[in-house]
Structure 1
């Protein structure tokens, strides 16, 4: 796994190195031939295109993630076509929006005319679908082809710009060359053909992933590019042009770190949970980014100001103590710090819906607010970013490390685990078994007589009965059940004592008090045994009553529901904590029926992985359960069944 990341990173880093040389040639040539003022105009227009890349990169990362998870070429192509069509809708909308507000953008950025924004709109129309095509190649591990496409884009931009300047088209020609580069890159990276199959993606599944990606890249592009737009607004054109040259260094460093992320992302997305538990995968990426960044900072600080004046032109000299090398190295430090945060966030995104995206988006707003408040000099503008990027790194890294260490004590299940599949079961049967264990609750009092046969003599082939059992369960547990992913597959499984270390209890109610921070089932069972005769409470009395009931000849003790991502990953008890502990203490787990729900998407369920994002989703389902009034639906179903029986 680490070898794949390093190999992919080396390929993309090689491509990024060549792209960086091309982009340096582009920036130096345009700056030298156009001067600070026109260079600032060309750069800020390109920056607007970069801001739009929040959508482009969202489609790229979504394509890479979903393509990497598909098993066959046909499914990979089908997923790509589904997302590519959606990307064209977004691109046309973005192009029309730019065209409609061209005068407003021209005025705010102090541009010489609206033609630059119109050319930008053309480039944007191809830029978003380009992200989708690159995502397909990335998800299929075509790192060499991806790097080649990026080199083609950079080469077209450089060659077209030099040609346009030579023909006397100036800034308009440079922006047109940028738009042409997007078109050329899109045409050159079309995926291959395969037999058409139905796309395994559905709109309901793509919206959370696309939203996550857009939040991530919205924050990313604002952090990386909003400073250029703000400096162009607050400072004279010449000063803004000098700052654009400084910011160019940040883009170079970030392109290198992005190469590491692009190789890491599909590999981690296709990995299993036990592979991700180790910090080895992410540490490889972090060390690569840090090594590249530190080398760049030292190099930039040592290059004399006179050399930059030769490269960019005499107009790019900065008087005073804070010369160009100082600003370049300071800006590089800010970018390196942010790049480390981006690696952590992207790592989490590769296998789950990450809440760190929203933290990054919040900090992007703080960057805009900070620069708007503190912009007495270019140095002050950069220092605002350094301070905020340090705070962002702490804000995203500490929760990640804490969560990793907190779950690291849970041993990964091996392929030789005693978890054995007995048979596949339907969701209707699972609901029926869940209801059997819960039906004694007082909430069902008015249905005890009417629904006893429905619950305890269930016919799972009768859809009318299944609907009534579902309605009964949803009366108490609708919000709980809606949390489970729609593609959850249920199995009856065999659980033995050797599996206990791979199972966690969900820390609800009294369980949280006795777990002492460790929810591993075997440890919870030991603590319960130690406390059973020391405390007088309904909690322990319930466990004692279940144990007593299990000792009766021929007694069966109900069902335990488990959930997980796959058979080799830790499982969590969804329902049946008391009966599971009681059976384990009695050595009678063979009297229980274990039903296990598995899907890779279980990481989005708050019962399996509790975080801000999953709790927010649960709150939505809780509100939905209240609004839907399950009691009314239940009464109607039972009334209808009684009328039918008459």
Structure 2
């Protein structure tokens, strides 16, 4: 047994285990959504898609706390690190409680705006938000310290618990499907807390950090929050706007399209999770960071290309296999949506890379083109095809300006590669 363990440690790196775990988690989340789509049908799935989209929005907001925690878990040590973590937990608590209150208070208005069958689903979802933020800070520590086994486990417990609890209740109880999905999501936040670093959690500790440390944290937090806002806009505004402007049937069809097309982004996400701490560590050690960026860009571009080609040549087969014949009318749009997502995934790698280096122009560029996407969809939404085409336009323009910034900023380094 010891020989097998030694062999695994020798030939399989922690990063590879983490990436395999992320694939399993993403696969489980995909299965969750696919089963909901098949069981509920397009109209009810539209409500489910709103909750899943709210979950993605929440994950991007909480990712600000996770990335800040990850970065400064690399840079800070000893007492400074402990004070920093306590401060992050306190801020995460107050912010998440405020968010929770707002969603619960405006649950009726949310139901009206998104044309959902229930406001209770927003109440249940809102009550779970503080647990999610604590989970994200905990993950940030694991990410920054490269404790990838523990990081993987938190994602696995969240995914598996949501999958099992949701479908168990769907099978056993006669409740509104949107309420059941909200309950499953709420419970998964609690399971995702484990393993939890209780030794780092203390509200009684006095969080004394010097002015320079506070300035570093504040600046990175603000720009990261801004960038995650752009992620929310680019990744989720289309589904939310389609749910508002189109009927439930079309919104459900579009949600299935988005779920399949976004597989590119979810695969890219696992590379981003590894990229930030690696770049911060290389910069801290005075080593070049450009090679690691180019390696990940090649990975994402290759994977994106393969997925787009598959969606182009086999759209009907993919949709029928995953969601069933009820959604097959979306087949002509599948490769186009995958193209928009693939272009965004590549742009995203550049933005996260520069974010790690405290260079914020690419982050601002992402925000500008994210808002452009929203404005275009608000004014032009005559059909689902038009919505997808506008996203392709916005993402192509974003990639062009990101690449322009990259080549201008790295003229000297590129010559020696």
Give the structure-1-normalised TM-score: 0.58
Aligned position for 2:272: 261
| 1:138–1:266 Cα contact (<8 Å) kept | yes
| 1:46–1:175 Cα contact (<8 Å) kept | no
Alignment size in residue pairs = 398
Gaps of 5+ in 1: 1-5, 412-646
Gaps of 5+ in 2: 1-11
Aligned position for 2:182: 175
CA drift at 1:287: 1.1
Residue deviations 1:488-532, cap 9 Å, x none? xxxxxxxxxxxxxxxxxxxxxxxxxxxxxxxxxxxxxxxxxxxxx
Pairs within 5 Å for 1:245-284: 245-272=256-283, 277=288, 279-284=290-295
Aligned pair 1:81/2:86, yes or no? yes
Aligned position for 1:486: none
Q: Distance in 2 between matches of 1:10 and 1:204?
A: 35
Structure showing the higher helix proportion among its residues: 2
CA drift at 1:407: 6.8
Q: Which of residues 208, 223, 243 is equivalent to 1:232?
A: 243
CA drift at 1:406: 4.8
RMSD of aligned Cα (Å)? 2.4
Aligned position for 1:134: 139
Residues 1:61 and 1:123: Cα distance change in structure 2 (over 3 Å): same
Q: Distance in 2 between matches of 1:197 and 1:92?
A: 21
CA drift at 1:389: 0.6
Aligned position for 1:376: 382
Higher relative contact order (CA 8 A, sep 6+): 2
Aligned position for 2:8: none
Q: Distance in 2 between matches of 1:251 and 1:129?
A: 26
Aligned position for 2:163: 158
Residues 1:277 and 1:307: Cα distance change in structure 2 (over 3 Å): closer
| 2:315–2:334 Cα contact (<8 Å) kept | no
Pairs within 5 Å for 1:473-552: none
Residue deviations 1:8-47, cap 9 Å, x none? 6533321221012212211111111111111110111221
| 1:80–1:133 Cα contact (<8 Å) kept | no
Aligned pair 1:117/2:122, yes or no? yes
Q: Secondary structure at the match of 2:358?
A: coil
Q: Secondary structure at the match of 1:190?
A: coil
Aligned position for 1:294: 305
Q: Between Structure 1 and Structure 2, whose CA radius of gyration is higher?
A: 1
| 1:137–1:191 Cα contact (<8 Å) kept | no
| 1:59–1:83 Cα contact (<8 Å) kept | yes
Aligned position for 2:402: 396
Residues 1:288 and 1:301: Cα distance change in structure 2 (over 3 Å): same
Aligned position for 2:325: 314
Aligned position for 1:493: none
Residue deviations 1:326-365, cap 9 Å, x none? 4222211111111111111111111214122121111111
Aligned position for 1:64: 70
| 1:260–1:285 Cα contact (<8 Å) kept | yes
Aligned position for 2:18: 12
Q: Distance in 1 between matches of 2:371 and 2:93?
A: 28
Give the structure-2-normalised TM-score: 0.88
Q: Secondary structure at the match of 1:328?
A: helix
| 1:30–1:161 Cα contact (<8 Å) kept | no
Q: Distance in 2 between matches of 1:28 and 1:7?
A: 31
